[in-house]
Amino acid sequence: MTVNSRRGPIDRIYGLLRSIPVGVLWLIVIVWSVPSVSLFLNSWRSRDAQRNSGWWTIKPGDLTLDNYDYIFNASAAGTIGESLINSMAIAVPATIIPIAIAAFAAYGFAWIDFKGRKTLFIATVSLLAIPLQVALIPLLQTYVNGAHLTLPFIDKTVTIIPNLGLVNTSTAIWLTHTGFALPFAIFLLHNYMSSLPKDVFEAARIDGADHFTIFWRLVLPLSLPVLAAFAIFQFLWTWNDFLIANTMAGTNPDARPTTIFVATLAGDFGTNEHLLPAAAFVQSFVPLIVFFAMQRYFVRGLLAGSVKG
């Protein structure tokens, strides 16, 4: 059968239908973006407009900045600007500090020889499936009271961690995030660092370089891509976290991050329903920027360690 012979109507329909999969894909893409688009458009509509008609009836003349104006300046739950700062105060240290600590540890696991290295590594990394709920109660108790241990037999109480007044502060939140981020961070960075060429290290060792110099001058610069991958991952995770923030500082309006701000608005039975789209959009704005600017690194991080707990 030659190419141009017998192009009957049935063949033409058949050919058309062969492109259905691509059509189905784009249909899925549209369906997937409808929720976000409707939220975004609703955020520019007035309270009455939102209540009485769907966002698809929007006209350019109806657009208003009132919702944004209100949540930035006059909201009863505090302003969202304040909670943006709080989110930063949580997400920035909760990103930087685990990176540093995990980079040391990943280097140690990859390139320092000591007994029981492999067992310790597997034990550490296996912790990344631990659900964080299981640590919340004791951690909150520690932030409220400090940690005290009553010694057996001699019946004396030793203070291991004094009460530092951390409860309801952003410090408590990022400290918790740091602990929970470490197994994943170590896993991710170790995978990368241990795949660096071995002869580089041996040459440096023969030249008399110590571990600190090798780490600082050699490994850290080479590991920048994976450090970036983890940084983005962790930043999005901490910025978007609700559970830890709500547990550790949920009652203190001065330490509340954006997620709690939005959840509080959502929880007051519809009185502020019309502010929700604007608030949710502001809350998502920073992660979306980070995400789209650095998607490549984010995907790399996901691929390298898709077992986070």
Site for another protein in 91-130 (CB under 8 A): 92-93, 96-97, 100-102, 104-105, 107-109, 112-114, 117-118, 120, 122, 124-130
Using CB under 8 A, which of the segments 11-19, 62-70, 196-204, 221-229 binds another protein?
A: 11-19
73 binds another protein (CB under 8 A): no
Using CB under 8 A, which of the segments 58-66, 69-77, 133-141, 196-204 binds another protein?
A: 133-141
Site for another protein in 211-270 (CB under 8 A): 211-212, 215, 236, 239-243, 247, 259, 262-263, 266-267
Q: 23 Cβ partners below 8 Å, 6+ apart?
A: none
Let me know: does 184 contact 252? Beta carbons within 8 Å.
no
Q: How far is the CB of 13 from another protein (least distance, A)?
A: 6
Q: How far is the CB of 287 from another protein (least distance, A)?
A: 5
Using CB under 8 A, which of the segments 45-53, 61-69, 70-78, 223-231 binds another protein?
A: 45-53
Q: How far is the CB of 197 from another protein (least distance, A)?
A: 19
Using CB under 8 A, which of the segments 61-69, 70-78, 170-178, 221-229 binds another protein?
A: 170-178
Q: What DSSP state is assigned to residue 151?
A: P
Q: 233 Cβ partners below 8 Å, 6+ apart?
A: 188, 298, 301, 302
Among 143, 230, 249, 287, binds another protein (CB under 8 A): 287
- Number of residues binding to another protein, judged by CB under 8 A: 117
150 binds another protein (CB under 8 A): no
Amino acid in position 195: S
Round to whole Å and give the CA distance between 186 and 234: 13
Q: How far is the CB of 264 from another protein (least distance, A)?
A: 10
Among 78, 81, 146, 253, binds another protein (CB under 8 A): 81
For residues 79-100, b (16+ Cβ closer than 10 Å) or e, as one string?
A: ebebbbebbebbbebbbebbbe
Q: How far is the CB of 210 from another protein (least distance, A)?
A: 5
Q: How far is the CB of 61 from another protein (least distance, A)?
A: 19
Among 50, 83, 234, 272, binds another protein (CB under 8 A): 50
Round to whole Å and give the CA distance between 145 and 278: 38
Q: What are phi and psi of 178, to 5 degrees?
A: -60, -50
Angle at 132 between CA 289 and CA 294, to 5 degrees: 20
Beta strands in the chain (DSSP E): 147-150, 157-161
Q: How far is the CB of 24 from another protein (least distance, A)?
A: 7
Cα→Cα distances 157→16, 76, 147, 151, Å: 79, 45, 10, 6
Among 7, 33, 195, 268, binds another protein (CB under 8 A): 33
Q: How far is the CB of 200 from another protein (least distance, A)?
A: 18
Amino acid in position 6: R
Among 176, 223, 234, 272, binds another protein (CB under 8 A): 176
175 binds another protein (CB under 8 A): yes
Pairing of strands 147-150, 157-161: antiparallel
83 binds another protein (CB under 8 A): no
Which of 227, 237, 246 minimizes the C-alpha distance to 96? 227
68 binds another protein (CB under 8 A): no
Cα→Cα distances 2→10, 12, 13, Å: 17, 15, 19
